[in-house]
């Protein structure tokens, strides 16, 4: 009666190259300056609209008006929808770990603030969707991470009546969502964040997804 819930961007897949390219195309179309890759990676995790808003703020240096955010967000969604998997790749150890969990019959789900349809596109393009019993993107529910409902609904759809769940992510948003849900959280040392991984306050930090099985065993057995 255990489930594992994964974040997508920065945890399973390095989607930043496609995301930042689409963001910069949208910023240019709105007459704004582009963002560097290292800066743009720190904007990922709060959802597409928040990504666009942060990109605009980096360009104009102030909180943007809603009309500019709306227009740039629409452009971003068009561009990202056209090429959401051209440069995205799995992180090392991801497929091996998912295969192991699938062989063991461990139910898995994906809880991401990424738009739902694009999340499915990315998972299908990289042959990952078959591992997951549920996928809930950031526009499916009224709430999204770090709200508890996003994780709890994903866990319930993954395995109705589950007893234990663990969140696997890469950012402060994932850690906050897990804390709000009352479940442990493991973060990867790679991924996208604006603070050092040691400052996130996770229950465990791993540098390769192949380290996850041992951490799960430890967390399952915690009192």
d(CA 27, CA 18): 14
Pairing between strand 89-90 and 164-169?
unpaired
Percent composition of the chain: helix, strand, coil (DSSP 3-state, to 5): 50, 15, 40
Helices 16-29 and 66-82: crossing angle, nearest 10°? 130
> What are the residues whose beta carbons fall under 8 Å from the beta carbon of 134, sequence distance 6 or more?
109, 110, 154, 157, 158
Q: Minimal CA–CA distance to 169: which of 148, 193, 147?
A: 193
Characterize 3-25 residue by residue with b for buried, 16 or more Cβ atoms within 10 angstroms of its Cβ, and e for exposed.
bbbbbbbbbbbbbbebbbbbbbb
Cross-strand partners of 213: none
Distance set, CA 119 to CA 7, 33, 80, 115, 164 (Å): 11, 27, 11, 6, 25
Active site residues: 7
């Amino acid at each position: 009666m255990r489930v594992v819930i994964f974040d997508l961007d920065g945890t399973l897949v390095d989607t930043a190259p496609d995301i930042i390219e689409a963001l910069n195309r949208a910023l240019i179309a709105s007459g704004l300056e582009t963002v560097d890759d290292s800066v743009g990676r720190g904007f990922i995790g709060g959802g597409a609209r928040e990504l666009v808003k942060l990109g605009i703020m980096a360009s104009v240096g102030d909180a943007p008006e809603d009309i500019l955010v709306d227009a740039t967000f629409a452009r971003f969604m068009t561009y990202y929808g056209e090429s959401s998997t051209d440069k995205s790749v799995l992180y090392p150890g991801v497929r091996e770990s998912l295969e192991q969990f699938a062989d063991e019959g461990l139910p898995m789900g994906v809880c991401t603030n990424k738009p739902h349809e694009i999340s499915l596109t990315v998972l299908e393009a990289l042959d990952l969707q078959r591992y997951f019993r549920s996928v809930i993107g950031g526009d499916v529910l009224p709430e999204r991470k770090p709200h508890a409902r996003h994780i709890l609904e994903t866990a319930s759809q993954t395995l109705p009546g589950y007893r234990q769940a663990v969140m696997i992510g890469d950012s402060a948003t994932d850690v906050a969502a897990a804390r709000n849900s009352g479940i442990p959280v493991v973060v990867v040392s790679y991924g996208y964040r604006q603070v050092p991984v040691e400052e996130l306050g996770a229950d465990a930090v791993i540098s390769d997804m192949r380290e996850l099985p041992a951490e799960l065993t430890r967390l399952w057995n915690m009192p």
